[in-house]
Amino acid sequence: MELLSQTEVFDGWLRRYRHHSEATATDMVFAVFLPPQVMAARVPVLYWLSGLTCTDENFCQKAGAFRLAAQLGLAIVCPDTSPRGLALPGEHDEDDLGSGAGFYVDATEPPWADHYRMYEYVTDELPTLVEMNLPVRADKSICGHSMGGHGALVAALRNPGVYASVSAFSPICHPTEAPWGRKAFSAYLGPDPADWQQYDATLLVASAEERLPILIDQGSKDPFLESQLMPEAFRAACDAVDHPLTLRMHPGYDHSYYFIATFIDDHLRFHAQALGA
């Protein structure tokens, strides 16, 4: 791991690292906030997965999470949203496919399959790297926004016992039926919808081996609410199998980081309680 920068904030430290990833066969950059408690002991970790077009920096600069995270003794790790530094055909042409739009899947189709393996990266390689090299415990939770909310839900539902808690802001809940998801999954996973189901939280919840409580916040004025996000489909799937879900609809709020900043403290406390922070 190469330390790119370090900034002191709320008596803790925001660091950015670069490392070579075996999963993506590229160099990857991630950010990590380390609270002041790391001076005395290892701390639990919250993984934050960002949305379309974002990098590791959006949450760090806009969410306003570090003051409370410092008080709670909670580290926050923010990976990038796709591999970088490639020149694949069409990779940089559209906001919802390729660069900045890895969708947290392991691609199986050319030209993506050799590098776009973000599911393996965020659920396996990155946590292993972080736990080996930074003063953190193995205890971890996961959260995300939009495409990253989709990634957080899928990671938790597919990996029972790994995460202490899971939450999301405005997640893409049913990507196999959403235009963003169908476009990305067709490109990354091929034309057969049966191959997409392993990355759809609404389809996964029925067979989830663990009934981990889920917290979702959604704004009522989100322009993507009906066409892309589909939280009511996810609620129905959870209700059908009695999976614990708290879905909070917030009148007047949209899809932006203003929305995230308004309610991020609730999510940090939710995860800190589950992690014993």
Q: What CATH number is attached to the domain comprising 201?
A: 3.40.50.1820
- Catalytic choice (115, 200, 222, 243): 222
- The Cα 130–Cα 132 span in angstroms is 5
For the chain, 277 residues long, the average pLDDT of each consecutive 10-residue run is: 98 98 98 98 98 98 98 98 95 96 98 98 98 97 98 98 98 98 98 98 97 97 98 98 98 98 98 94
Exposed (0-12), middle (13-18) or buried (19+): which is 5, by Cβ within 10 Å? Answer: exposed
* C-beta of residue 242 within 8 angstroms of C-beta of residue 206: no
The number of folded domains in the chain is: 1
Q: Is 222 a catalytic residue?
A: yes
Tokens of 191: 């034309």
Q: Is 146 a catalytic residue?
A: yes
- Catalytic choice (174, 255, 267, 271): 255
What was the pLDDT predicted at 277? 81
- The Cα 193–Cα 272 span in angstroms is 37
What was the pLDDT predicted at 218? 98
Domain range for residue 85? 2-275
pTM (two decimals): 0.97
Exposed (0-12), middle (13-18) or buried (19+): which is 153, by Cβ within 10 Å? Answer: buried
- Catalytic choice (50, 99, 146, 165): 146
